[in-house]
Amino acid sequence: MATLERKAVRTEDTWDLTPLFRSWEQWELAFSGLEGRLSEIAQYKGTLTESAERIEAAFRLYLELSRELEKLYTFAQLNADVDLGDSKHQGYVQQVIGLHARFATEASFFTPELLSIDDALLQSFLADPSLVDYRRRLEEIARYKPHTLSEPEESLLARGIEVFGSAQKIFSQLNNVDLSFGTVSVDGKDEPLTHSTFVVFLKNSDRQVRKRAWEQYYRAFDSHRNTIAASLTASIKRDVYFGQVRKFPSSLERSLFADDVTPGVYNQLIDTVSANLQPLHRYYELRRERLGLQSLQLFDTYLPLVKDVRIEHSYEEAVDVIIEALAPLGSAYTTPLKAGLTTGRWVDRYENKGKRSGGYHSGCYDSPPYILMNYKTVELNDVFTLAHEAGHAMHTYFSVQSQPYQDHNYTIFVAEVASTFNEELLAEKLKQQFRDDKKLLSYLVNQQIDDIKATFFRQTMFAEFEKLTHEHAEANRPLTLDYFRETYRQLLAKYF
């Protein structure tokens, strides 16, 4: 079936963004209103050392403006992500990013001025009851003291916000809009090859179908290999630049600092996984033997080892089985989640042309949690993806209910606990459901093994690739297409 244009998607299959803004006209009014208020923060410049009350008033205004900016960005970005070829929506996103840069420039005095306060005086301010709601934020600012620049330098960096995000933007547009993969013939019928259907082809029992889909998919990327390499180079050099400017020993340390995690944790993960790859290698050897192949190729690694099993769920059926699986978490969890996944329209459900690939959770303090999906009935993986993103959504839902705006965000280091836990509950639910059917049970165990491969081993490989490429750049060595390919090839050989 052909991939739909966005305008052909049913309203009930899309997310409802009206809790943010009811129309673009309302958004534009809010944008203009915020734009006119940005300079208000300047009234506190040079006065933060005067009193705790002055700091409290400045924080209150800063967070009020930040919160409105977040609403504007969320509405624009979510509209853009469902049709990345819509230049109007892309323009709105650029407008908000530009507004963010101007706000950051106006407020660039804030952190340096707070850090200029004498430690004894700052401690007395922290003890003041008027700052109790901002104590955590102040402590976090103090933690960044060695990595905070002067006000003019912070202002200069703030002005570059739009430029510094260009590498990711370039790749996103190429990946989600410009690339075209054509069709793959299956049983004499041409089926569209997209980001969303790629894995479906790789699970086809016909090895030639898998091979054609694999080669055709990556041929599209290969035709833009130099553009992709240049975009990746720009992204890495940006990370290195900020690591150096912020006076971190490395870009890795800067990246982890926000979550208060040391490089030792990151390196220990890579070292531990590297020392324990034997089970993964044995699994691939078992896979080769079970499939009766002389040589296992990457396009053979997605095919289920248990043949002739189809576990299909419509979106509505997926919601039902997820809610049943999450019952141990209680009705306070499952009732709002079920409403959000159905009538509340938290989810943009299916693939359409120009839609961002994959799945994610997003939203802001003043909106419901939103989930982007490219759901397919034939993919059990998509049921797990929905359960995973629902974990993030409910984490945010309860955090917003329990915390003030300035404290509601959580780190990526803990975020995946809520999401992967949901996947485990779903897996246990399905295994209980099919416990008397040895074939279906084996299929689910195979699915879990492949999830461990993807979540634990493959993600660690990506982490090692990032570490190696950033260290290469920090050693002032050239980042070239050949270097990226050879480094990635060696990691594939090591892990798989």
pLDDT classification of 475: cutoffs 50, 70, 90: very high
Q: Decide which of 310 and 70 is more confident.
A: 70
Same domain, 22 and 157: yes
19 and 79 in a single domain? The answer is yes
Listed residues 433, 466, 485: the one ending a domain: 433
The two three-digit tokens of residue 77, written as one number: 């970005």
Could you tell me if residue 124 is inside a domain?
yes
Domain annotation covers residue 204: no
What pLDDT score does 163 carry?
86
Interval 366-405: pLDDT, tens: 999 999 999 999 889 999 999 999 999 999 999 999 999 9
Is the pLDDT at 297 greater than 70, yes or no? yes
Entry pTM: 0.91
Does residue 296 sit in the same domain as residue 444?
yes
- Residue 25 among the catalytic residues: no
**Same domain? 230 vs 283:** yes
CATH value at residue 32: 1.20.140.70
The domain total for the chain is 3
> Do 323 and 424 reside in the same domain of the chain?
yes
93 falls within a domain = yes
Q: Is beta strand 183-186 parallel, antiparallel or unpaired with respect to 360-362? A: unpaired
Helices 119-126, 135-143: inter-axial angle, 10-degree rounding: 160
481 within domain boundaries: yes
What range does the domain containing 84 cover? 6-164
Model confidence at 126, in pLDDT bands (50, 70, 90)?
A: confident
Tens digits of residue pLDDT in 266-285: 999 999 999 999 999 999 99
- DSSP tag of 383: H
Both 145 and 245 in one domain: the answer is no
CB 207 within 8 A of CB 300: yes
Condensed to tens digits (0 to 9), the pLDDT of residues 431-466 reads: 999 999 999 999 999 999 999 999 999 999 999 999
Q: Verify that 133 and 264 share a domain, yes or no.
A: no
Whether 208 shows a pLDDT value over 80: the answer reads yes
Write down the pLDDT at residue 334.
99
User: Does residue 117 lie in a domain region?
Assistant: yes
For residue 84, pLDDT over 80 is answered with yes
Query: Which pLDDT score is estimated for 1?
Result: 67
Q: Which of 417, 433, 449 is the last residue of a domain?
A: 433
The CA-atom distances, in angstroms, between 84 and each of 79, 80, 227, 243, 452 are 9, 5, 19, 31, 32
CATH number for the domain spanning 453: value is: 1.10.1370.20
- 27 and 42 together in one domain: yes
> What value does the mean pLDDT take over residues 2-16?
95
Query: Per the residue annotation, which of 68, 191, 389, 423 is the catalytic one?
Result: 389
Same domain, 17 and 141: yes
Q: Is the domain of 427 the same as that of 450?
A: no
Q: Do 21 and 124 sit in the same domain of this protein?
A: yes
Residue 78 has pLDDT above 90, yes or no: yes
Query: In whole numbers, what is the pLDDT of the chain averaged over residues?
Result: 96
Residue 363 — pLDDT band, cuts 50, 70, 90? very high
CA-based radius of gyration for the chain: 25
Assess whether 462 and 415 both reside in one domain.
no
Region 243-250 average pLDDT: 98
CATH number of the domain enclosing 422: 3.40.390
